[in-house]
Amino acid sequence: MSTIQLFISAKSDIFLDGLLRILNDNEQFTVCHSDQDIDEGIDEIRQVRPDILLIQSNLLTPPFDLFINQLKSKTNLQHLKILVFGQLMENDFLLTIIRSGANGYINSNMSAKHLLLAVKYVNNGQMWVERHILEQLAQDALQMESVLEQIAMEKTRMISDLLTKREAQVFQWILKGLSTKEIAEQIHLSEQSVKLHLGKLFKKFDVTNRPQLILSAFERASPVNNIIPLIQETLEKKYLNHQ
């Protein structure tokens, strides 16, 4: 069975000594430790190519999402799993690091058994987070979903206000993929009239064809700025990662 490669970035303290002792005593793990600051230890991390990077909490610098993204970029390890550990970590700090992309955390109250479980869970692609932190994350997600839905509804209403009744009817059937002839049958107009309304829609959205019209409306209605470029960038990254 292959071992799990761990890299620990931390300054010496009592918690670190205990952590190293527990991990080194387990044959499932290969452990490397550096007491350098993260920036100074980048080359070593890149060479080791660990499965999991364990970072002492006081070595993280805000904003934590930028710190984690830059760390993965500098090490060329985009799928690197990150566990934060330390003593006296406040709930607000734990919530922030999880939101920022950390895969979990280990605190000084954990038993050796739970510490080992945390490492194994994270290595398997799962998160290691206490229940009360998970509940807060879930609540935050629900609140954010509600906020985004309200923003999207308001933006959609603004789009609707730009359109006449006939333009809105034509657009509705365009979104369902109907042809000009089929739209004409649905709203009891001639094909020429439908084309006229379609031309007005193109002009209002500053586009020249139906796909552009749909994308433009989608981007205007989305609560996330520049949603289309964001989708394109994500798809491009996925393509590049699979080459």
Q: Which of 107, 95, 96 is closest to 133 using CA atoms?
A: 95
Instruction: Check whether residue 125 and residue 161 sit in a common domain.
Output: no
DSSP β-bridge partners for residue 128: 104
121, 27: one domain: yes
Task: For residue 163, give the nearest of 221, 211, 209 by alpha carbon.
Answer: 221
Lowest mean pLDDT: which of 151-160, 170-179, 200-209, 234-243?
A: 234-243
Cα within 13 Å of Cα(186), Cβ side: 16
Residue 243 resides in a domain: no
Counting the structural domains of the chain, the total is: 2
Burial 188-223 (b: 16+ CB within 10 A, else e): ebeeebbeebbeebbebbebeebeebbebbebebbe
Q: What is the DSSP letter of 57?
A: G
Model confidence at 54: pLDDT above 60: yes
Average predicted confidence (pLDDT) for the chain = 86
> Is 242 inside a domain boundary?
no
Report residue 237's pLDDT band, with 50, 70 and 90 as the boundaries. low
Residue 201 lies in a domain: yes
Nearest partner of 7 among 70, 83, 61, judged by Cα: 83
Question: Quick check: is 166 in a domain?
Answer: yes
Query: What are the beta bridge partners of residue 209?
Result: none
**Does 119 fall in a domain?**
yes
Among 129, 151, 177, the domain-final residue is 129
CATH number for the domain harbouring residue 195: 1.10.10.10
Q: What are phi and psi of 127, to 5 degrees?
A: -100, 145
In a domain, 238, yes or no: no
Residue 13 buriedness (CB in 10 A; 0-12 / 13-18 / 19+)? middle
Q: Cα–Cα distance between 88 and 55 in angstroms, integer? A: 15
What was the pLDDT predicted at 228?
A: 60
- Is residue 152 located within the same domain as residue 71? no
Indicate if 60 and 149 belong to the same structural domain.
Answer: no
Domain match, 15 and 125 both:
yes
Q: Which of 62, 94, 129 is the last residue of a domain?
A: 129
Q: Is the pLDDT of residue 92 over 60?
A: yes
| 118 and 58 together in one domain | yes
Q: Which domain holds residue 46?
A: 4-129
Provide the whole-model pTM.
Answer: 0.60
Question: Quick one: average pLDDT of 28-46?
Answer: 91
